[in-house]
Structure 1
Amino acid sequence: MHVDHVGIATEDAAELAALYEELLDAPVVHEEAFQGMRVVFCEFENGYFELLEPAEDDTTIGRYLEQNGGGIHHVAVETDDIEGALDTARDLGVRRLDDDPRPGAWGHEVAFLHPKDTGGVLVEFVQH
């Protein structure tokens, strides 16, 4: 496994993407509307920043921004076997927010683990 991306909650994905492109040489390689969000991926040599902007009222990201402000929302780890990764989490007593993989942005399968069991970090498994 390796870190695939870091999810970042923001009020303005376009503005933040423009900054990251100039500042970090991380160009936008994918954009989409997904589950009430505008999602923008900025690419590095070894992964992505996934910028998450609420596009509708009362979304998970919108509520996150209201409670926490902008910043790191989650860390995604790529796996070739998302079901096996979920089984390992279960075997280790780590609570899963998703018992089964579900569709994620960019057509990937994803599943999240409970941050109270992962050191306060919302961990996402992602399978391309």
Structure 2
Amino acid sequence: MTDASNPTEGATSRARGLASSLIGIDHIAVAVKDFEAAIRVWSDEFGFELIQRTHISGESSGMYKAVLRAGALTLVLVQGDSSDSHISRYVEEHGPGVMHVAVQVQDQEQVLDSFRAHGTKPLTGIVHAPGLDQAFLPREPHSGIQLELVSRTGLNGFDNASSLQLHEAMEGRTTS
């Protein structure tokens, strides 16, 4: 039972749902204005290794994506491939910067259930791909951070088909 005199109690129990299942940060997705320049800065100046570079086609999910890694930190640089891309719209509205933080969790369904129980409706259900399950929560309005929940069972990188499926689910064009 939530104590009405303590407005943070509900948020605390919701956070326990995430915190009890949290493994760590999987990756940070960064929306960029200039894809090539961003790759150069992060690899040449900051010393990150370029792991993967790809283009994902999609009506409003189209993007250029580069996965870079240094030590335990993985960055995913993304740029929309058209003005209709949700990434281009994000950059237009908010400017370049962190789009989301992906956290690796042990029990994704339990975490989603905890958020649902406290009134937060996930943007997607769990999108399953070989070795990788993903789900998105809505952007937290006070910090502007959006969380992606990730569970890995073998895949250490990113699969283009699952990325497209995940972004289409966020746009409400598919169900999972």
**Which consecutive segments of 4 or more residues in structure 1 shift more than 3 A?**
116-119
1:120 is aligned, of 135, 144, 149, to 144
**Alignment pair present for 1:63 and 2:89:** yes
1:8 is aligned, of 13, 16, 30, to 30
Matched length: 125
Match of 1:97 in 2: 123
Match of 1:43 in 2: 69
**Structure 1 residue 67: deviation in Å?**
0.8
Contact 2:83 2:89 in 1 (8 A): no
Distance 1:103 1:41, change over 3 A: farther
CA RMSD of aligned residues (A): 2.1
The gaps in structure 1 that reach 5 residues or longer are none
2:140 alignment partner, SS class: helix
CA–CA distance in structure 2, aligned partners of residues 110 and 58 of structure 1: 24
Contact 2:33 2:79 in 1 (8 A): yes
Percentage of pairs with the same residue: 26
In the alignment, residue 39 of structure 1 is paired with which amino acid? Answer: K
1:116 alignment partner, SS class: coil
Point out which structure has higher relative CO (alpha carbons under 8 A, 6+ apart). Answer: 1
Greater strand share, 1 or 2? 1
Contact 1:42 1:49 in 2 (8 A): yes
Distance 1:16 1:4, change over 3 A: same
**Alignment pair present for 1:86 and 2:112:** yes
**Structure 1 residue 84: deviation in Å?**
2.8
Match of 1:23 in 2: 45
